[in-house]
Amino acid sequence: MPTSEALSLAQSKDLDLVMMSGASKPPVCKILNYGKFKYDAIKKDKEIRKSQKVVETKEVQLSMTIEEYDIAYRVKNACKFLQGGNKVKVTLKMKGRQQAYASRAIEIIKDFVSRVSECGFIEKEPEIAGRNAFVVITPKKN
């Protein structure tokens, strides 16, 4: 249908001529109430955003001299975060001469990850960046 004919038809019905797909040959247009169309599109977007779960990254900090009780406490918190659907970043900070024993830092992190293994799994292997050793743990699917 020619554009002028479609425009006159839309005006006679007190509606708008809206181009839905301008890239196609010929362009696809619809006769509708544009205000209602825009309102429905915004409402649908809000509904989609509401149903999405935003994954946050929680951080658990360890040290080279951490005691058994403190590790158990942090494991409990990490499991709680993972069950809530969040990722957990485990960071071990090394101070001064502790940087010479980076292999010990990796051992502590691997021990921590093995304790949390029923709640989540490693996204990628532990790595050392400067004074910190870290790993990211992702929650298991239900």
Domains and CATH numbers, the chain: 3-51 (3.10.20.80), 57-139 (3.30.110.10)
pLDDT of residue 142: 64
Whole-angstrom distance, CA of residue 110 vs CA of residue 96: 22
> Rounded mean pLDDT of the chain?
88
Residues 49-60, buried b or exposed e (16+ Cβ, 10 A)? eeeeeeeeebeb
The region, left, alpha or beta by phi > 0 then psi within -120 to 50, assigned to residue 15 is beta
Taking the complete model, does pTM exceed 0.85, yes or no? no
Whole-angstrom distance, CA of residue 75 vs CA of residue 112: 7
- 52-92 pLDDT, tens digit per residue, is 777 788 999 998 888 999 999 999 999 999 998 889 999 99
pLDDT in tens, the chain (142 residues): 888 888 898 889 888 888 888 788 888 888 989 899 999 999 999 998 888 777 788 999 998 888 999 999 999 999 999 998 889 999 999 888 888 888 888 899 999 999 998 988 898 888 888 888 989 999 987 6
